[in-house]
Chains A and B, each alone.
Chain A
Amino acid sequence: MPTETETTPVIEDETKSKADLDSGFLVICWNDPVNLMEYVTHVFQVVFGWTKQKAEEHMLQVHQKGKSVLMRETMERAEHYVHQLQRYSLHATMERDR
């Protein structure tokens, strides 16, 4: 009887390294009916150090399209920015860039 060596395929656990997790998160600001447009522009300038023009472009995107992707960052930095934006009571979240 021939001996058969069974080879069981080894399925590696889908463990994600920190680098994988840090592959990219989008920092998004969502529209809400309560924050003033000038205030949102001001916050973008303070948090990201943007020019008024760039901050206004993103503010208008939020206002007209419902959201604006502000940054693509590592998890840690995205968390930092979301914290900053939420400190100013803006509706901001981080979403994995798929």
Chain B
Amino acid sequence: MKSGEQRLLERTFELYPVMPAGIAPLSKSSDPEEMQDEQDLLDELMRESKAENRLELMNFLRRPRQFEKEEDALLLTVKKSEVNWLLEIVNEIRVGLWYKLGQPDPEEDEVPSETAHLEDWISMEYCADLQARLLFTLTDPK
């Protein structure tokens, strides 16, 4: 990657977690009161796992030689064991930004006009690209 992409990646990862709280109900059909305890537990587990992920993500970015110079580019090192975890992070940011941007139609590719939204949109699109690259490594781990 180029140094510009490194900045974009760091700025995008800084956003984590993005998904608004309470967006994912445990059940659609059950009486919300009946399952309130379970819903609270799920919300707490999600908060905990995201806090843990954020800590790991910051360590990941600050790891020595994480971005190594290779000729005129930078090489981001991702261990095989980290691919799945990184996919979880990248998708959370992507889906979270999609909600934040008002759930735009992914097929339409409409670029937002407001600057703040534009940055989020770029990060969302970047996550889609990164996700595709990470998924590719699972099928072709070379």
Contact = CB atoms under 8 A, between A and B. Distances in A.
A86 interface: yes
A93 B26 contact: yes
A95 B30 contact: yes
Q: Helix, strand, loop or mixed for chain B's interface?
A: helix
B82 to A, nearest CB: 14
Contacts of A79: 26, 38, 41-42
B128 interface: yes
B135 interface: yes
Interface residues of A, number: 22
A68 to B, nearest CB: 14
Interface residues of B, number: 32
Interface in B89-117: 91-92, 94-96, 98, 103, 105-107
B29 A39 contact: no
> Shortest 4 CB-CB distances between A and B: which pairs?
A89-B95, A34-B98, A89-B91, A86-B24
Interface of B: 19, 24-30, 38, 41-42, 45-46, 49, 84, 87-88, 91-92, 94-96, 98, 103, 105-107, 128, 131-132, 135, 138
Interface of A: 33-36, 38-39, 42, 46, 75, 79, 82-83, 86-89, 91-96
Given A34-B95, A89-B91, 14 more contacts: A33-B103, A33-B106, A34-B103, A36-B131, A39-B135, A42-B84, A42-B87, A79-B26, A83-B45, A88-B91, A89-B19, A89-B92, A89-B96, A93-B27
